Structure 1
Amino acid sequence: MSARKEGHRVSSCQPDPAMSTAPFGAECYDITSLLDTLGEIPDPRDQWEKIYSLSFLLAVILVATPTGAKCPREFHRRAADLPQSLLAVLGAPRDFLVGGYREPSEKTIRLLLKKIDVDALDTAFGSWLCAQAAPGQVAFAIDVKVLRGAWSGKDAQVRLLSAMLHGKGAVRVRVRIPDDTNEITHIQELVTKLPKNARPTSHDARRHTHPARHRETPRENRMDYILTVKGNQPTLERQTFERILPLLQETPHHEVEERAHGRIKNWQTWTRTAEIIDFPHVETACVIRRDEFDLTGVRISREHALILSSTPSERATAAYLHNRTRRHWGIENEIHYTRDTAWREDANPTYTGNTNHALASFRNLAIGVIRLSGARKIKETIKHVAANRYRALQLIATVCNGAGL
């Protein structure tokens, strides 16, 4: 018996009872800008492998990712569930023998992810996301993510250095760190790929405070840095502490208090110039004190963060550095933690070719699309989309047409 009837394909998977079977005008949703972007990525396949266009295969993976799909097998199963009208919008070839549109096999998806140019993939995804999110001057948080389920060798895990747009949860640029080196030697490569309107950048506390890393890069690229100093640079930490210690006796230059989740959190910030601190291009020193109280006012914890910035003190106000630093801390919650919890990235071992890097790229793009569409709860949104595949198209079209954030 034919698997297709009157242009409608019977799913190879158990149908989801929540999935809508009502007619849907998929052609009404314009995702042309994203499909054009996907079409510009170099095609790594041999000529005889090109049954499907590259943009269609990438679009299928993208639509499947917000449903929670984590590997080529699940991408294929999601593609087998896609309605004919949605396959047509994504650019599927028509099979005239059976009178319907074809979906890619698991093998086709697996081979593509293994060979895809991940640098071109990251560049295309990042450029498209930021074009939708940030038309003006922007700031980025830079941090490294270890893919704990992906091993490139016996004793080496895949590490990706990323730059995330502050406040948007969208990754703009990313580079893979080779196994025989560390992120310090690749920060300049990452920074040179950032757009010209990028200013400033903020950096991870423990990894990126090495002086050699900032010796030339920020000024050459007309960007300022904001970084947190910790014990990996004891001399720098001591100099910074000595410079800002007298400030703690003064009234805070900036103060914010928030109440949430049964706690009261208070941030106090002080700034001053950084004359005695020996670090490339440093202009401003800052300390942020974070106190956490229960609802009765009893202090639970107190932390101090030492901040250095190349931004001149007349612009690097206490409010400015407080906001930028807190936005930097968001890269862990908005990107790294989300990929681990929504797609179980660290528990999903992948070893072949560029697959692990490519999957992380699609997850970043899916997170960016969800956030730019206005949704903030990623896991809930994934469950919502999984119940009806058209919702992934709706999310993407919302961002493409500028109707999101």
Structure 2
Amino acid sequence: MCFSDINPLSETCPMDTPNAIDHMFFYFAKVEDPRRPHATRLHSLEAILLITILGTICGAHNWVEIEQWGQSRRAWLCEFLHLPHGIPSHDTFGRVFALLDPESLHQAFVAWMSALAQLGQEIMALDGKTIRRSLDRADGKGPIHVVSAWASRNELVLAQFKVDAKSNKITALPELLALLNLEGNVVTIDAMGCQVEIARQIIDQGGEYVLSLKENQPNLYEDCVALFTWLKGPHTLDEKIVLGADEQVDGGHGRVETRQVWCTSGLDGVVSCERWPGLRSLVMVEAPRHIGGQDEVEQRYSISSLPGATDTDATRLNGVIRTHWEIENRVHWVLDVAMAEDSNRTRKGESAQNLALIRKLALNLLRRETSVQTGLAAKQKRAGWDHNYLLKILAQT
């Protein structure tokens, strides 16, 4: 049974349902109820989902806290939800989310985020994160690992994909990419995603790529290091050099970092580049650091389908590579610090994956609400105190 089979509104005041609530019901209308059709259902699926989403936006981290939040807001929730048996118990929340098909919930999430996003000239960073306390020793299951897609300009997590316990991140990436509209956008992935088939899929879907290069591609890596060593060395006048450069200086917290970026599209004769679809440039980032009186130099390499022949190209590539790390700082770190994801012990069935998606939904909506200029944690508190502000967060269009 799905939402469309049940009247989600309170029987006493259907005309007073806030537009923001109607908006959310629209996207989650086709989520399938995992409970047996003839089983006794004291609480509708829409009530369970809605209370979970609202409670998470307001800072509830687990099923007990979500139940407590619902109890504290029961009178308000009854204005637009039919709750004849009150607020579901934490056991009910946990049981339903453990059974809920992640794909069904994810389709609703992707539909909503796709409606919010304005893609084109976007940088999409793909990266994975382990939810450490989701391991279930009783069932012999390790913690789940989820790969997410972050759209920098839109400031949205667009989709997530759980890595199969018997597989790894490489096999999850193609399935995550298939969910995304890559036309006119640049995809960035760490060295795990530096694979020929990944590059081909991105190009086939109309996108561009910047992939981190390490020793897991030994021939290409060695050729890249040798090429930049030669390009930066002394040359005779008759040698044709194709090399773009950019430099940025950052400082703060007792640390000064100067990032120098070189790129080249002069790949003729580099045999290891020939099998990579769409490959147009190699990139080297050199970051000397001065920390506590000590000098350090780090060199990192990438391959890209973007041009890399001029200083302007180098500036663009520098920005794209730096933007990739936003997924660590603006998604993974925030999920752990503001939403306590790493310490969350939800683990039964599909509940860890499903609740991880709800947290990303809450993160997206909280970040898009910009009328209150405070941090995310402060927004969560205000949403818990002020129903009107909570509805404003929910009504993102």
TM category, shorter: 0.7 to 0.9
Partner Cα distance (2:286, 2:41) in 1: 58
1:250-281 Cα offsets, whole Å, 9 max, x none, are: 99622223344444433222211144143522
Matched, 1:34 2:24: yes
RMSD of aligned residue pairs (Cα, Å): 2.9
Match of 2:51 in 1: 60
In structure 2, what is the Cα distance between the partners aligned to 1:248 and 1:32? 60
Equivalent-residue separation in structure 2 for 1:70 and 1:368 (angstroms): 16
Q: Please name the residue that 1:377 is paired with.
A: 375
Deviation at 1:308, TM superposition (A): 0.6
Tell whether the 8 Å contact from 1:143 to 1:331 is kept in structure 2 after alignment: yes
Where 1:122 maps in the other structure, the secondary structure is helix
| 1:81 pairs with 2:81 | no
1-structure distance, mates of 2:296, 2:328: 21
**Residue of 305, 314, 319 corresponding to 2:300:** 305
CA offset digits 1:34-86 (Å, max 9, x no partner): 22102232222234454444333222111111232121111110111115234
In structure 1, distance between residues paired with 2:71 and 2:232: 62
Q: 1:192 to 1:49 in 2, by over 3 A?
A: farther
The TM-score with structure 2 as length reference comes to 0.81
Q: Specify the alignment match of 1:121 in structure 2.
A: 105
Assess if the C-alpha contact under 8 Å between 1:160 and 1:177 holds in 2.
Answer: yes
CA distance in 2, matches of 1:41, 1:312: 43
When residues 376 and 199 of structure 1 are mapped into structure 2, their CA distance, relative to the original with a 3 A threshold, is farther
Are residues 33 and 283 of structure 1, via their aligned partners in 2, closer, same or farther at CA, if it must alter by over 3 Å?
same
2:111 partner letter: S
For the residues of structure 2 that align with 1:32 and 1:264, how far apart are their CA atoms? 50
The residue type equivalent to 1:147 in the other structure is I
Q: Residue 140 of structure 1 corresponds to which residue in structure 2? A: 124
Mapping for residues 208-287 of structure 1, pairs under 5 Å:
208-214=193-199, 216-248=200-232, 253-273=245-265, 274-275=267-268, 276=270, 277-278=272-273, 280-281=276-277, 282-287=279-284
- What is aligned with 1:92? 81
Partner of 2:332: 336
Report the Cα distance in structure 2 between the residues aligned to 1:131 and 1:248, rounded to whole angstroms: 46
For the residues of structure 2 that align with 1:230 and 1:181, how far apart are their CA atoms?
Answer: 21
Query: Counterparts of 1:133 and 1:260 in 2: how far apart (Å)?
Result: 33
Distance 1:235 1:42, change over 3 A: same
Percent identity, please: 23
For the 8 Å contact 2:208–2:305, the answer to whether it is kept is yes
Instruction: Give the Cα–Cα distance (whole angstroms) in 2 for the partners of residues 55 and 247 of structure 1.
Output: 61
Alpha carbons of 1:137 and 1:31: their partners in 2 closer, same or farther (altered >3 Å)? farther
TM-score, length-scaled by structure 1: 0.79
What letter matches 2:250 in structure 1? Answer: E
- How far did residue 198 of structure 1 move? 5.9
Q: Which amino acid aligns with 1:245?
A: T
Kindly indicate whether residue 151 of structure 2 is the aligned counterpart of residue 162 of structure 1. Answer: no
| Contact residue 144 and residue 163 of structure 2 kept, 8 A | yes
* Residue 135 of structure 1, CA deviation: 4.7
Is structure 2 residue 382 aligned with structure 1 residue 353? no
Point out where structure 1 has 5 or more consecutive residues left out of the alignment.
1-25, 96-100, 401-405
- Give the unaligned 5+ runs of structure 2: 1-15, 235-242
Counterpart check, 1:323 vs 2:319: yes
Task: Identify if the C-alpha distance between structure 1 residues 388 and 262 changes in structure 2 by more than 3 Å, giving closer, same or farther.
Answer: farther
Q: Do 2:250 and 2:256's aligned partners in 1 also have CA atoms closer than 8 Å? A: yes
**1:389 Cα offset (Å):** 5.3
Alignment check: 8 A CA contact 2:119 2:185 kept: no
Partner Cα separation in structure 2 for residue 135 and residue 213 of structure 1: 20
Q: Please tell me the residue identity of whatever aligns with 1:369.
A: L
1:87 CA drift (Å): 4.2
> Size of the alignment, in residue pairs?
363
How far apart are 1:229 and its partner, in Å? 1.2
- For residues 303-360 of structure 1, what are the alpha-carbon distances to aligned partners after superposition, in whole Å with 9 as ceiling and x for unaligned? 2221111234479911221121111111111111221222322222232111100111
1:45 and 2:30 correspond? no
**8 Å CA contact 2:56, 2:66 repeated in 1:** yes
1:186 aligns with 2:178: no
Provide the rounded CA distance (Å) in 1 between the counterparts of 2:157 and 2:72: 29
